[in-house]
Amino acid sequence: MLKIYAYECRRLMWNKFFPGIALVLLFYGWQILDRITILGVAHTAPFSAWSYGDYLGYMLPLLWIGALFTLSFFTSCADERRRRLTSATPVKPSHYALARCCAAMTATAVLSLEAVALAVVFYVHMFGGCDFGELVYPTLITLIPTLVFALGSGWILAGIRPWLLFVWMLPPVVLAAIPLPEALGLLNGSLFETRALALGVLDPAFSLSFATIAVQCALLLCGILLLILRPARH
């Protein structure tokens, strides 16, 4: 099982597309940090949890697309030929599916950590550092539920029709262009600016409403269930 997982990770992250996605992520992220985040969000410091969360909101559509791209490698023509060979082995198909699921999660985690590391490098370079402990909560509550849901829903859609993966890359781009209620504000990053202003104090402590946390927990739970469902049905 571990050998299959290691092989799938190498196949995902040592191809010509994954480094390209990583480079685009670095370039776009630095532009956001250098031109938008450095100004601060809603009168907060550039290195505050609010400004950092706003940066993650800008990065989230690219991370969503990157997560779905990792799944697309499992639906290609070359993978179909490989599947004919693996079907003749004594390993259960569900084990292959589970290994691929874990590999896709690992590749998505690598891209997410790249975005976080870029912000850390920026803060050290521009400000000599900051209280990085304050950035942990915005990272976890913003990235993990949404990206787990992206992988789970994409995993199911890929089993229906492979081209649906590419259609499913559009929702975060569309959501970024429309206003959302506060409970859904983490889906496009708008919450960090609107809530900081709504609190009515200068540079408020970072906090989220119960509705926002409930939505993120629901996304995480739904994503986990979808990830479990696909290998079980494989």
Per-residue pLDDT of the chain (234 residues; tens, 9 = 90+): 678 788 888 888 888 888 999 999 999 999 999 999 999 988 889 999 999 999 999 999 999 999 999 888 887 655 555 555 455 455 566 677 788 888 999 999 999 999 999 999 999 999 998 888 999 999 999 999 999 999 999 999 988 888 899 999 999 989 888 888 988 999 888 899 889 888 877 778 899 999 999 999 999 999 999 988 865 444
Tell me what pLDDT residue 169 has. 94
Query: What DSSP state is assigned to residue 204?
Result: P
Tell me what pLDDT residue 92 has. 66
Tell me what pLDDT residue 232 has. 47
**Residue 229 token pair:** 């469902």
* List of residues 6+ apart from 51 with CB closer than 8 A: 37, 40, 41, 44, 45, 192
Q: How far apart are CA 1 and CA 134, in angstroms?
A: 37
* List of residues 6+ apart from 45 with CB closer than 8 A: 51, 203
Tell me what pLDDT residue 98 has. 81
Task: Give, in order, the Cα–Cα distances in Å from 25 to each of 8, 115, 118, 165.
Answer: 22, 7, 10, 20
Tell me what pLDDT residue 77 has. 52
Tell me what pLDDT residue 80 has. 54
Tell me what pLDDT residue 4 has. 79
Distance of CA 33 to the CA centre of its chain: 18
Q: How far apart are CA 50 and CA 59, in angstroms?
A: 14
Q: Which of 113, 111, 86, 122 has its CA nearest to residue 8?
A: 86
Tell me what pLDDT residue 78 has. 52
> Which H or E run contains 77?
helix 77-86
